[in-house]
């Protein structure tokens, strides 16, 4: 329970459904937890709000210090991916390693059968009862199934997602009806451990960035400028290049071996194929052949028609019907058929097409 309206309402719904509920709030990042100016999850106000909701619902509430696990599994991964020229997705990793990893182990210690969260997504059983399926949330604007694609069957089978059939407005209405103090609480859209959504400043301040200067080049290798470290750039970025050029330039490649940032024009960002690795298949045991899907290459991507083909058990090749812009290695590519999440994988770096 973060102290926000979603997890508060999820807990309330489970109480109504007859579950014995235990509220858990993780302290996951020390700097955020000590910042009394913020209401972010695990900050003092977030903890106080979660505790008050639990008091009103008549359920137990515990605060668990998970700073070390969170730093290792999420924050260090986040920094290492940027240093390697990839764009990380810490929310996916947090769900897999912390919310349905560490928290599930805590549930075992407490004798709890399930772990529940306030995600806008749903689960269901397959027709033969052999698999737990992951489904989109009914509120497509808030659907968070993308962030849950890497959960394994052992995790999904013990997951309760009470908000899957609700819209955000319905969630707030329910919280108001129950008199929960979090009903009108402002929603946080930032990465929880990155102040002001400035990941570059975060990497520099924490010492997790290398700040290793290098060259900014065009696709032919012509040096156009200097940079302070490739971890401060992402594919598709335009701002912060500090280049004086007659036409806008965008980051089209990051080369950690040569410590180079490569820039090009908007057309250079378009690509109709990608490869994913470390695939996790949810709706099926394994991808057996070419499959038509809607593929999302980042959370706020609307999804695009594509064909996904297996390259062994844990790799796949994705071919889009229409080229997509700014495909970033390190991000997740998640595959859907209607409301069903088939699975997904992590986008790998591929050679830049010839100019």
Q: What pLDDT is recorded for position 36?
A: 42
Per-residue pLDDT of 311-354, as tens digits, reads 988 999 999 999 999 999 999 999 999 999 999 999 999 887 77
How far is it, in rounded angstroms, from Cα 163 to Cα 143? 10
Is residue 177 predicted with pLDDT exceeding 70?
yes
In this prediction, residue 198 has a pLDDT band, given cuts at 50, 70 and 90, of: confident
In this prediction, residue 58 has a pLDDT band, given cuts at 50, 70 and 90, of: very high
Question: If you average pLDDT over residues 186-193, what whole number do you get?
Answer: 80
How far is it, in rounded angstroms, from Cα 223 to Cα 213? 13
Is residue 188 predicted with pLDDT exceeding 90?
no
Bridge partner list, 22:
60
In this prediction, residue 20 has a pLDDT band, given cuts at 50, 70 and 90, of: very high
Mean pLDDT of the chain: 92
Question: If you average pLDDT over residues 30-55, what whole number do you get?
Answer: 71
For the chain, the C-alpha Rg in angstroms (whole number) is: 21
53, 213 Cβ separation under 8 angstroms: no
Question: If you average pLDDT over residues 114-131, what whole number do you get?
Answer: 96
Is residue 56 predicted with pLDDT exceeding 60?
yes
Q: Which of 41, 42, 91, 192 is catalytic?
A: 192
Please report the domains of the chain, with CATH numbers, ordered by start residue. 5-196 (3.40.50.620), 210-264 (2.30.30.280), 271-347 (2.40.30.10)
Q: How far is CA 226 from CA 94, 241, 262, in A?
A: 34, 9, 11
How far is it, in rounded angstroms, from Cα 308 to Cα 39? 41
Question: If you average pLDDT over residues 210-219, what whole number do you get?
Answer: 91
Q: How far is CA 175 from CA 7, 142, 144, 180, in A?
A: 10, 17, 20, 5
Per-residue pLDDT of 67-112, as tens digits, reads 899 999 999 999 999 999 999 999 999 999 999 999 999 999 999 9
Q: How far is CA 235 from CA 22, 38, 261, 263, 308, in A?
A: 42, 30, 10, 9, 23
Query: Is residue 106 packed enough to be buried (19+ CB in 10 Å), middle (13-18) or exposed (0-12)?
Result: middle
In this prediction, residue 34 has a pLDDT band, given cuts at 50, 70 and 90, of: very low
In this prediction, residue 30 has a pLDDT band, given cuts at 50, 70 and 90, of: low
Q: Which of 41, 42, 91, 94 is catalytic?
A: 94
Q: How far is CA 248 from CA 3, 19, 85, 236, 266, in A?
A: 42, 56, 22, 12, 8
351, 342 Cβ separation under 8 angstroms: no
How far is it, in rounded angstroms, from Cα 106 to Cα 138? 29
Question: If you average pLDDT over residues 227-238, what whole number do you get?
Answer: 93
Per-residue pLDDT of 254-273, as tens digits, reads 999 999 999 999 999 999 99
In this prediction, residue 226 has a pLDDT band, given cuts at 50, 70 and 90, of: very high
Number of CB atoms found within 10 A of residue 35's CB: 16
Question: If you average pLDDT over residues 58-63, what whole number do you get?
Answer: 96
How far is it, in rounded angstroms, from Cα 74 to Cα 68? 10
In the chain, beta strands by DSSP E: 22-27, 60-65, 115-116, 121-125, 132-136, 159-160, 214-217, 223-227, 250-255, 260-264, 270-281, 291-296, 304-310, 315-325, 332-337, 340-347
Is residue 295 predicted with pLDDT exceeding 80?
yes
Is residue 244 predicted with pLDDT exceeding 90?
no
In order, the DSSP letters of 165-225 are: T--HHHHHHHHHHTT-TTTTPPPP-S-TTSGGG-HHHHHHHHT-S----EEEE-TT--EEE
* Overall pTM surpassing 0.75 (yes/no): yes
192 as an active site residue: the answer is yes
Q: What pLDDT is recorded for position 307?
A: 98
Closest C-alpha to 81, from 236, 206, 256: 256
């Amino acid at each position: 329970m973060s102290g926000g309206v979603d997890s508060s309402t999820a807990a309330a719904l489970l109480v109504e459904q007859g579950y014995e509920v235990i509220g858990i709030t993780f302290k996951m990042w020390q700097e955020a937890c000590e910042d009394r100016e913020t209401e972010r999850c695990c900050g003092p106000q977030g903890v106080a709000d979660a505790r008050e909701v639990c008091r009103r619902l008549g359920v137990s509430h515990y605060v668990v210090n998970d700073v070390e696990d969170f730093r290792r599994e999420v924050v260090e991964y986040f920094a290492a991916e940027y240093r390697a020229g990839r764009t990380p997705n810490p929310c996916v990793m947090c769900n897999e390693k912390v919310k349905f990893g560490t928290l599930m182990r805590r549930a075992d210690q407490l004798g709890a059968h399930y772990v529940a969260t306030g995600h806008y997504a749903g689960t269901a059983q397959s027709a033969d009862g052999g698999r737990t399926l992951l489904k989109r949330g009914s509120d497509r604007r808030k659907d968070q199934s993308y962030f849950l694609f890497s959960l394994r069957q052992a995790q999904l089978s013990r997951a309760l997602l009470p908000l899957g059939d609700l819209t955000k407005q319905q969630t707030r209405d329910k919280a108001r009806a129950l008199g929960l103090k979090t009903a009108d609480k402002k929603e946080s859209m930032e990465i929880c451990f990155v102040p002001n959504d400035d990941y570059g400043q975060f990497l520099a301040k924490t010492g997790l960035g290398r700040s290793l200067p290098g060259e900014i080049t065009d696709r032919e290798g012509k040096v156009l400028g200097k940079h302070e470290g490739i971890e401060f750039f992402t594919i598709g970025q335009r701002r912060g290049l500090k280049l004086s050029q007659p036409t806008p330039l965008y980051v089209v490649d990051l080369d950690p071996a040569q410590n180079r940032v490569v820039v090009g024009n908007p057309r250079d960002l378009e690509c109709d194929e990608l490869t994913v690795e470390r695939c996790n298949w949810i709706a099926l045991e394994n991808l057996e052949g070419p499959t038509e899907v809607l593929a999302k290459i980042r959370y706020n991507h609307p999804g695009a028609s594509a064909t996904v083909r297996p390259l062994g058990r844990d790799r796949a090749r994705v071919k889009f019907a229409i080229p997509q812009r700014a495909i970033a290695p390190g991000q997740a590519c998640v595959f859907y058929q209607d409301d069903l999440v088939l699975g997904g994988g992590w986008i790998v770096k591929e050679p830049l097409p010839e100019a």
